[in-house]
Amino acid sequence: MYRLRNWLISDNGVSEEDMLQNGNRLMTGNGYLGYRGTVSEAEPSWMPAVIVSGLYDRQGDLWREPVNAPDCLYAKLFVRDEPLMASGENVLSHEQTLDFRYGIYSRETSWTVDGVSVTLHAERITDICNVHRLCMKYAISADAPVTITLKQGINCAVHDLNGPHLGNFRLDKDEKNGLLVLDADTLEKAVPLSVACTVDVAGDVVCGTEVSGEGAFHVYTIKADKDKRFDFFVYGAVYSGADTAEDCGVKARETALSSLAEGWESILSGHRKKWDEIWLKGDVIIEGDDYAQHALRYSLYHLHSIAPRHAKSLSVPARGLSGQTYKGAVFWDTEMFISPYFLCTEPDLVARFIRYRIHTLPGAKRKASEYGYRGAFYAWESQESGDDACSLFNVTDVFTGRPVRTYFRDKQIHISADIVHAIRTYINVTGDTEILKEGAMEVILECARFFLSYLYYSPEHDRYELLDVTGPDEYHERVNNNAFTNRIVFSVFETVQTCVDLLKKQDGGFIEKLFAELSFDTDMAFMHEVMKKFYLPQPDSGNVIEQFDHYFKLEDCSLDTVKSRLCDPREYWGGANGVAGNTQIIKQADVVLMLVLFGNEYSDEIKRANLAYYEPRTEHGSSLSNCMYAQLSCASGNSEWAYPFFIKTAEIDITGTSKQFAGGIYIGGTHPAANGGAWMTAVQGFCGFSMNDGKISCKPRLPEKWKRVVFSVVYNGEHIEVTVTKDGYSLCMK
């Protein structure tokens, strides 16, 4: 059972289910590597993983997914050939803890063997200073004489959802330095990956090596006794050809050896210092509500542990670096749910996300042309090239095991508009127009062009419409005029206009040249025509906006009724035969999301009417949903109603109770979008914070319990501390 205390989360569970949950709950990461919170002797079925960001591979015709590197912090104890496992029957006590202020994982386990108790205390970090580095302190003690064997080294028997992904293994040992190095290549594109580790041990131990199909290990024989402790310091390194042009093997060797020379204490101290700096800019203090405080900080920790500070152009997958679910792909989650926090605290990171979309523009253009459109249709599930990893059959039927046709890939056209929205917001908040010249303007124009070629002119209504789309609510596929999609696509056209005007003022030559290169003049003229007659669904007489054409005609039944129709709890609710499809039950915030994003255009009455209508009809089957209902409720004056939705969002990776399956497909892992949603609700929702066109403002509407909220934002390049109480707010330079 987990316990949450000040900056600490612990769990003493030992079942297979606990091991899986703690893998997410206690994970550490640095934006490059994600190390799951499993014990160092983990069985593959407990899903240990060292996920390398930006490195993907495909095995046969299975789904492409991120590569799980061999584990260089692997360690397993034995007494007389019997392994000491966290799940063993001879366990006296076991606890794993994550210090989420400093990203330090620790575990303490005691076993009894023939009346002797053996204790292991281990700590490890995924170094946030040198992102290629993994370090562990591993301390063994006993209360009476006993001979213990420790097998430590590089374990290749990794868990993969759709693997294996590595081959051509080459092992190198350097006995003098106690160094083990494993070089391998990915199977699909032969990208090199190297893992190295070395050990510093204090105490009298005998060491040998063991090389097998499972990996390369040091084997230590330890004569343990009362009052004797054996400390092992393991220094590991991971490099891949996706992140360096240099020789990965050489880099991994050098890093492991230089870490050995530097030593655990110094590395740990640098790591802590960097986390202190991160929290200086990124912390949010909530006074009066300890649970909300811990849950929000824990959410922010997860965002920082996947923030790609090391790369100029990289984004974050929908399940962070917590595993291979969702193919390690980047979704709209980054732009709409994760970017807002970083935009206010570390805008450089958002520039990296935007550059990732600039670099994957060719993939988006290929996708548009594959479907017969012009411009850029971004991948619904994007990997390193921008080609869509989303399959046409993205869910498995739980009854037949057969693939189910889904239209996420073909019809969630809003993805291209979400990206433009994020670019526009970035420019609005930071004033940095250089990014437009780096390629973001081309992204905007190509996305606009895609929508211009996708839209449909209805002669009956004399208006432009968007037909056959899927909105954020994936349970209703292939609908016409999804209100959210229409509004956000319209904002793409508005963005083209705004950015063109801006650039013309600054540097007319640039935009002229770009228009000529892309032959955009005709598109621009057509866009102006379209804007005059573009259909934006409006509220009805009861102030409710219909989610898409004829939505109100679908069966209007309760969520419980729809649930009662399920024959299997893991059934997929959408698709051709899903229980929600012919009803008004929706998966996640859709109209509500539109009202949050374009809040200035709608009255409080409209916001309240839509909340009241859609909330009882929402399953919140996506982790992206609750935070939007919470924000709209705050914006329309009801923070108390918003509070439980905030808590559900902020505690999602603490409780681990979110959906684990979509049809037959495993979707567990961490939830960065919800982590970002927790910040949005606390800061933009409860504090009513906004930063638009160079102006900061707050409209406090704190929940009853909250006395004061303090957070930081970057404003004109300066760090400003914002303090919000129930009665007002103040700003102070940091």
Long-range CB contact pairs, 565-572, < 8 A, 24+: 567/399, 568/398, 568/399, 570/398, 570/661, 570/663, 570/664, 571/398, 571/399, 571/663, 572/395, 572/397, 572/398, 572/404, 572/662, 572/663
Two structure tokens written together for 376: 């850029």
Cβ proximity to ligand BGC: between 153 and 677 the closer is 677
Provide, rounded to whole angstroms, the least separation between the CB of residue 333 and ligand BGC.
5
CB of 323 to ligand BGC, least distance (A): 13
Minimum CB–partner distance for residue 13 and ligand BGC (Å): 26
Residues binding ligand BGC (CB under 6 A): 318, 326, 331-333, 472, 474, 587-588, 622, 624, 673
3-state SS, one letter per residue, for 661-672 = EEECEECCCCCH
Q: Report the nearest approach of ligand BGC to the CB of residue 548 (Å).
A: 16
Q: Which is nearer to ligand BGC, 99 or 474 (CB)?
A: 474
Q: What are phi and psi of 556, to 5 degrees?
A: -100, 85
Q: What is the largest CA-CA distance in the chain?
A: 90
- Minimum distance of ligand BGC from residue 625's CB (angstroms): 8
Q: Which two tokens stand for residue 11?
A: 């769990």
- Return the number of the residue (133 or 411) whose C-beta is nearest ligand BGC: 411
Identify which of residues 233 and 573 has a Cβ nearer to ligand BGC in the complex: 573
Task: Give yes or no: 529 in active site.
Answer: no
Q: Are 306 and 320 in contact (CB under 8 A)?
A: yes
Nearest approach, Cβ of residue 60 and ligand BGC (Å): 25
Give the contacts of 304 (CB within 8 A, at least 6 positions apart). 103, 275, 278, 282
Give the shortest CB-471-to-ligand BGC separation in angstroms: 10
- By beta-carbon proximity to ligand BGC, the closer residue of 94 and 476 is 476
How many other C-beta atoms are found inside a 10 Å radius of the C-beta of residue 167?
Answer: 11
Closer to ligand BGC by Cβ: residue 28 or 622: 622
Cβ pair 593, 484 in contact under 8 A = yes
As a whole number of angstroms, the distance between CA 315 and CA 312 comes to 10
CA distances (Å), 402 to each of 62, 535, 580, 663, 698, in order?
A: 14, 39, 20, 10, 51
Q: What's the CA gap between 680 and 634, in Å, rounded?
A: 11
Instruction: Please name the residues in contact with 303: beta carbons below 8 A apart, sequence gap of 6 or more.
Output: 338, 341, 342, 672, 675, 676, 679
Cβ neighbours around 97 below 10 Å, total: 20
Element holding 148 (H helix, E strand) = strand 146-155
Question: CA 713 to CA 691: how far, in whole Å?
Answer: 9
Which single residue is written with the structure tokens 């939505």?
A: 551
d(CA 370, CA 326): 23
Nearer to ligand BGC, 395 or 436 (CB): 395
Q: Which is nearer to ligand BGC, 625 or 636 (CB)?
A: 625
**Of 381, 474, 571, 651, which residue is the catalytic one?**
474
Residues marked active site are found at 474
